[in-house]
Structure 1
Amino acid sequence: MAEDPDHERLRRLEDRLRETKLGREKTSRTEEHFSQANMAWRMVIELVSGLGIGFGIGYGLDTVFGTMPFLLVLFVFLGLAAGVKTMLRTAAEMQDKRQAEQDAARDEGM
């Protein structure tokens, strides 16, 4: 014959499910790691995109004007500068977001 279920255990399970549905559970270290990896890839893509766009513009203008290495080199350096600037902006975004999360956690703890 089946025994009655443990009511306390079921209540705790329901509480945990409710917390999960409301999103109150803290993110795991794995999720944080994937988030950081995504941001790192975003920064790499921004840098490579800047270089690629600078190369394309420089090569195209050199082909049109017939000044082969001059504009190519100039725009590759400009593309590198633009990529680095974008990477720094992304890093500042990440830092601001992390600081806001820490401030919210500190305020919640008080």
Structure 2
Amino acid sequence: MSDVPSEEPDPERLAALEKKLDEVKRARAPKPRADQQLSQANMAWRMVIEMVSGLGIGFGIGYGLDALLGTQPWLMVLFTLLGLAAGIKVMIRSAQEMQKEAAAKAADVEGR
């Protein structure tokens, strides 16, 4: 009768299997790495570029209109300020978008 497999699970084999599964799960689990820091740096550069591009475009439009109309420096100042406002608006929108993505990732991690 010893050749017939028993219906009862072997506790030692189950414990060994659980230990192996835990090791594999730990090995595959995402670890905080430099990728996250790089991602944050990319976000910061994106915001800086949006702000500077808004200023640059506003300055360029104002300078061009001043050169055409001979109203120097009034339109340049006006459009530079408008470019600053547009840059801030785009930067805030990007920050909100990034915040939503971070909240979605946090909710996804909590849901696991």
TM-score, normalisation: structure 1: 0.75
Q: After superposition, what is the alpha-carbon deviation per residue over 1:19-60, rounded to whole angstroms, capped at 9, x for unaligned?
A: 98xxx5414331110000000000000000000000000000
2:6 is matched with which residue?
A: none
1:79 is matched with which residue?
A: 83
Determine the C-alpha separation between the residues in 2 that align with 1:34 and 1:47: 20
1:56 is matched with which residue?
A: 60
Bigger fraction of residues in helix = 1
2:43 is matched with which residue?
A: 39
- Aligned pair in 2 of structure 1 residues 88, 82: CA closer, same or farther (>3 Å)? same
Structure 2 residue matching 1:61: 3-state secondary structure: helix
1:66 is matched with which residue?
A: 70
Determine the C-alpha separation between the residues in 2 that align with 1:60 and 1:46: 21
**5+ long unaligned stretches in structure 1:** 1-11
**5+ long unaligned stretches in structure 2:** 1-19
Structure exhibiting the larger radius of gyration computed from Cα positions: 2
1:92 is aligned with what amino acid? Q
Q: CA RMSD in A?
A: 2.2
2:84 is aligned with what amino acid? L
Determine the C-alpha separation between the residues in 1 that align with 2:80 and 2:35: 36
1:74 is aligned with what amino acid? L
Structure 1 residue matching 2:73: 3-state secondary structure: helix
Structure 2 residue matching 1:68: 3-state secondary structure: coil
Determine the C-alpha separation between the residues in 2 that align with 1:34 and 1:83: 23
Determine the C-alpha separation between the residues in 2 that align with 1:40 and 1:26: 23
TM-score, normalisation: structure 2: 0.74
> How many residues are aligned here?
92
